[in-house]
Amino acid sequence: METKLDTRITKRPAAERGQADHGWLQARFTFSFADYFDPAHMGFRSLRVMNNDTIQPGGGFGTHPHSDMEIFTYVIEGQLEHKDSMGNGAVIQPGNLQYMSAASGVTHSEFNPSKTEKTHLYQVWLHPNEAGGEPRYAEKPLADLATENELTLLYSGDGRDGSTVIRQSAEISFGKLEAGKAIDVPASGALPHAWIQVISGELSALGETLETADGLAVEYAPEGFSLSATKDTEFLFFRLS
């Protein structure tokens, strides 16, 4: 006998996130990270990190290691200079994304190359489906890809619709909605859970209002749901197994 599971939602208000101020770095943590620990917020499904960072001019993270983690960086304002042990070197521009599959192991550094402007970004980590493998690197020029009033699929486990293949049964999309517009999110049996992270603007979803930097966990949405914007809004949308 099939058991029907009811949709459950949990809002993560921006003001309630963890925080750290290191002078050169101001960080807000949706989930437990570094010295911020909250057993009620350890991640959601395969989503482990949702950090919202502001890096001061000239500041950054020196060379450090990662392994067995899918890492995504979205630059909102300013620039981010990246170098890694795979030989990649790039300056990520505002509105663009970077993907790095740390896999069996990689080292990298991240700096704000500007002497005058801050860098504002999100860094997102997903647990991979399995450990090991060769590290991977890719960039997304989002300005060339995103379509108004639609979800633009960026990353997926199967690479459909031109998305970049990642090591997780998940989909990451970018949403850009004009005020007064809405998007219908269909049900998905394979990926029944979702996370919404508002970058800027204001969304309504499943009876909740989400403003800039708010997040929403959606567990089981068998009938699908809609997202509507009350202001011009940009957001990240995750479908998770």
pLDDT band at 2 (very low <50, low <70, confident <90, very high): very low
The domain in which residue 210 lies consists of: 145-240
237 alpha carbon, distance to own chain's centre: 8
Distances in Å between the alpha carbon of 23 and those of 17, 49, 77, 166, 230? Answer: 19, 21, 18, 34, 35
Total-model pTM: 0.96
Contacts of 75 (CB under 8 A, 6+ apart): 92, 93, 94, 95, 96, 97, 119, 120, 121
122/216 same-domain check: no
30/115 same-domain check: yes
Mean pLDDT of the chain: 95
Dig out the tokens for 209 from the structure.
Answer: 């209002």
Q: Is 44 inside any structural domain?
A: yes
Alpha helices in the chain (DSSP H): 142-145
112/162 same-domain check: no
CATH code at position 110 = 2.60.120.10
Is 167:101 a contact under the CB 8 Å cutoff? yes
Which percentage of the chain shows pLDDT scores above 90? Answer: 91
Candidate from 29-33, 79-83, 124-128, 143-147 with smallest mean pLDDT: 143-147
pLDDT in tens, 46-98: 999 999 999 999 999 999 999 999 999 999 999 999 999 999 999 999 999 99
158/108 same-domain check: no
131/157 same-domain check: no
SS3 (DSSP) at 4: coil
pLDDT in tens, 183-207: 999 988 899 999 999 999 999 999 9
Distances in Å between the alpha carbon of 220 and those of 1, 223, 240? Answer: 18, 9, 10
Is 203:177 a contact under the CB 8 Å cutoff? yes
23/102 same-domain check: yes
Is 24:57 a contact under the CB 8 Å cutoff? no
Q: Per the structure, how many domains does the chain have?
A: 2
Instruction: Enter the DSSP assignment of 163.
Output: P
Is 229:151 a contact under the CB 8 Å cutoff? no
| pLDDT at residue 214 is higher than 60 | yes
| Closest to 198 measured CA to CA, from 231, 224, 241, 222 | 231
